[in-house]
Amino acid sequence: MHWASDICSPALEYPPLLIVADIDRIIIHTAFTGMVPEVHVLALNDLLDAGKRKVLK
């Protein structure tokens, strides 16, 4: 799924928050100024776990 961020990021002028998804997972790329970029991958079943949903807040 990294191809989506490679294609979308330049077109969107490198947004600080990029969320891509497919039928099985949600991938969240963060790149806020002054912070280390992070990638969070959530399977759809992870949304049932309150601890894993904290990433979405």
Secondary structure (DSSP) of 1-57: -HHHHHHHHHHTT--SEEEEE-SSEEEEEE--TTS--EEEEEEGGGGG-HHHHGGG-
Q: What confidence tens digit (pLDDT) does each residue in 8-52 have?
A: 555 556 678 889 999 999 999 988 888 888 999 999 999 999 998
Token couple for 39: 């990638």
Whole-angstrom Cα distance, residue 57 to residue 44?
Answer: 16
For the whole model, what pTM was predicted?
A: 0.67
Whole-angstrom Cα distance, residue 33 to residue 42?
Answer: 23
Q: Cβ(30)–Cβ(37) under 8 Å?
A: yes
